[in-house]
Amino acid sequence: MNERFFRQGLLAVALAALLSVAAGSGYAGNLVIWIAIAAVLASTLRFVLLIGELNFAVAAFFGLGAYASGAATTLWQLPFGLSILTSGVVALLASAAFGYVTLRVKGPYFLLIGFAFTEALRILYTRSEWLGGNSGMVGIFPPAVLGDYFPTFVVAVAGALILLLARIEHSHLGRVFVAIRDNDSVVRSVGIPVHAMKVLCFCIASLVAGVAGALQAFSNNVISPLDFSFMLSTFALAYLKVGGERHALGPVVGAVLLVLLASVAQRFGGSEQIFYGAAIVFGVLFMPDGLTGWLARRRTARAKTALPSPAGEMQ
Amino acid sequence: MQTLLQLFFTALQIGAVYILFALGLTLIFGVLRIVNFAHGQFFTLSALIVSVAVPWFANGGSPVWLAYTLACLCGVIVTSALGALVYEVGFKRVERDMTGSFILSAGFVLMIEGVFTKLFGGIVRPVPPLVDGNIDVFGISVAAQRLVLCGVAAALTLLLTLALGGTRFGKALRAVSIDHQAAMLQGISYRRIGFGGFVAATAIGAVAGALIAPVAAVSPTLGDAYLVKGFIAVVIGGMGSVPGAILGGLFIAFVESFVGFYFDPSVASLAIFVLVMAVLLVRPKGLLGHE
């Protein structure tokens, strides 16, 4: 089942990348890019949820990645690939330090300290003149070679990242993470260093979020401190909650659905904020397991009702 | 000495509002185990209503103090009603589910803030001053309005602390926040206390919002900045602890006014963050928190 899942996953990513070629680089292309980035962000949120923590600092590491790429490209003139790598490494190092200190606390404390960290980083950006201060950085362009195929590139990278997270989740390491969520004392009792494992999980998710931030910087060309407020974490939460957190596909489904619906709502003059808020409230109250959870339950319900009927035909 | 005293007063003024804000947060967390991000929106709503109602009442011919009292009453009543509605429709269904209720509150933040922006517009609304002029206290000049606000906030905080310790409702709230099952075994109705606690906390937030309206730039996003600081105050003091919220609120206010004066306001924000990390390293449950 595992093998099949990844073969199908790879196929789906390839298909999505091919489809995104049709979107071109206009408005549709930007929409495709944002869907891909949103799916990655929501997936990292889900990944940290494996150890049972809600990572509200996701916007902070996304922002760190974006700023690292911005600095690498415009200040140090590093090549494109190296810039994206820098983003990942910066997010990884920062999250290792942040996670080492904060993962000692759990639940609401961890959540709130992530929230505070996001806002503290934003203040730091506005204070840093070399990072453009309040107005941010401009001129972060992807290489000309990619041209109109930049959305395709983003979709391919995003798909690979999501598959990577799913791969880790299904590995031995992923089982350790889930075991920590279920009962960390048991995990500690068999000699697994719980704290180190939690930090590792957090670092992997933040690395991915950092790379997503780099993609965002290159696609937007402009970044400013305002782009990385805690609202971004809330949006990621909306994608995850509407899609469902039980299945690895949940964040992707949520991102595709909400981004498309929000763009339609905006065309009719609605507010993006109200729309996302309503989606979260509706999701929590009426679909606690999200769309994927709802579909899975319907499928098992149908399988149950379908079972007796072949027996009936036999008679 | 002059400057020190002046800074001390500023700290007390902003501290009073932080304390009121943090008290609401810590009550809701203690009683219902909800990390309520929408608290900032209740705070904002009350401030917005005051900013609209004061000029309206004043134009109607009532004196300034009456206009203020009426506007504050309107703000607190409307906000409490919204709080009751949000609890009945939403939070009641996810009580004691930390993650679920937090996500729900984040949804309410987006929704309510979006509605505010549509209704009131993104512009900043100035509120006319409550009392004009300055008063000399210990040889330093303090804006009379700030002194009044500070006094009201301090009196309210004192009253609340006494009410939590002395009244039947206050005792029931504290019992539920320490151990809700044991409290239920004693015959305390969790449902009633939960509802009462949520509305009371919302009303406290609304009072804080109404108090800050004359001295702040009132806009639909006013509550966001207070939300960060209010939660940091609660985390420092220990979540669910009332004395902790008071201590945390004062702590943040003092760091903000002293570091903000000697260095820079944004350095103060960063310093607060670093200090929280330090506190959590030493005492993971906050200064006055317990398991």
Nearest C-alpha in A relative to B265 = A123
- Quick check: A310 pLDDT over 50? no
Instruction: Report percent pLDDT > 90 for chain A.
Output: 24
3-state secondary structure of B122: coil
- Quick check: A162 pLDDT over 80? yes
Q: Tell me if A39 is assigned to some domain.
A: yes
The predicted pLDDT at position B43 comes to: 92
CA B198/CA A90 separation, integer angstroms: 42
Kindly state whether A278 is in contact with chain B, defined as any CB-CB distance less than 8 angstroms: yes
Cβ contact, residue pair B277, A104, below 8 Å = no
The one-letter amino acid code at B220 reads P
Kindly state whether A279 is in contact with chain B, defined as any CB-CB distance less than 8 angstroms: yes
Q: Tell me if A280 is assigned to some domain.
A: no
Q: What are A24-41's pLDDT values in tens digits?
A: 667 778 888 889 999 999
Kindly state whether A54 is in contact with chain B, defined as any CB-CB distance less than 8 angstroms: yes
Instruction: With beta carbons under 8 A apart, name residues in chain B contacting A120.
Output: 269-270, 273
- Quick check: A308 pLDDT over 60? no
**Alpha carbon of A280: minimum distance to chain B alpha carbons (Å):** 5
The predicted pLDDT at position A61 comes to: 95
Cβ contact, residue pair B277, A101, below 8 Å = yes
The predicted pLDDT at position B68 comes to: 84
The predicted pLDDT at position A199 comes to: 94
The predicted pLDDT at position B110 comes to: 87
Report which of residues A133 and A182 the model is more confident about: A182
3-state secondary structure of A137: strand
CA B139/CA B21 separation, integer angstroms: 31
End-to-end CA distance of chain A, in Å? 34
Kindly state whether A234 is in contact with chain B, defined as any CB-CB distance less than 8 angstroms: yes
**Alpha carbon of A270: minimum distance to chain B alpha carbons (Å):** 10
The predicted pLDDT at position A141 comes to: 81
Alpha-helical runs (H) found in A50-127: 58-70, 80-102, 107-127
Sorted by sequence, the CB contacts under 8 Å of residue B152 that are 6+ apart come out as B211
Q: What are A95-119's pLDDT values in tens digits?
A: 999 999 888 888 888 888 888 889 8
Report which of residues A201 and A129 the model is more confident about: A201
Kindly state whether A58 is in contact with chain B, defined as any CB-CB distance less than 8 angstroms: no
Low-confidence ranges of chain B (pLDDT < 50): 291
Question: Judging by beta carbons within 10 Å of its beta carbon (0-12, 13-18, 19+), is residue A12 exposed, middle or buried?
Answer: middle
**Kind and range of the H or E element at B140?**
strand B140-143
Q: Domain containing A163: what range?
A: 2-229
CA B121/CA A125 separation, integer angstroms: 28
Q: Tell me if A102 is assigned to some domain.
A: yes
The predicted pLDDT at position A313 comes to: 42
Q: Tell me if A279 is assigned to some domain.
A: no
CA A229/CA B146 separation, integer angstroms: 31
* Total domains, chain A: 1
Q: List the structure tokens of B189.
A: 């109705």
Beta carbons of A279 and A244 less than 8 angstroms apart: no
Sorted by sequence, the CB contacts under 8 Å of residue A99 that are 6+ apart come out as A198, A199, A202, A203, A206
The predicted pLDDT at position A60 comes to: 94
Kindly state whether A126 is in contact with chain B, defined as any CB-CB distance less than 8 angstroms: yes
The predicted pLDDT at position B42 comes to: 93
- Quick check: A303 pLDDT over 80? no
Of the pLDDT bands very low, low, confident and very high (cuts 50, 70, 90), residue A46 is: very high
Task: Give, as one character, the DSSP assignment of residue A247.
Answer: S
Cβ contact, residue pair B280, A273, below 8 Å = no
Report which of residues A12 and A228 the model is more confident about: A228
Of B7, B88, B48, B80, the C-alpha closest to B253 is: B7
Q: Tell me if A154 is assigned to some domain.
A: yes
Nearest C-alpha in A relative to B94 = A285
Kindly state whether A276 is in contact with chain B, defined as any CB-CB distance less than 8 angstroms: yes
Distances from the Cα of A300 to the Cα of A64, A306, B106, angstroms: 43, 10, 31
Q: Tell me if A34 is assigned to some domain.
A: yes
The predicted pLDDT at position A262 comes to: 82
Q: Compare CB distances from B106 to A123, A126, A237 and report the shortest one's residue.
A: A237
The predicted pLDDT at position B44 comes to: 92
Most confident among A90-94, A170-174, A295-299 (mean pLDDT): A90-94
Cβ contact, residue pair A277, B114, below 8 Å = yes
Mean pLDDT, all residues of chain A: 84
Residues of chain A numbered 7-46 and touching chain B (CB < 8 Å)? none
CA B193/CA B173 separation, integer angstroms: 6
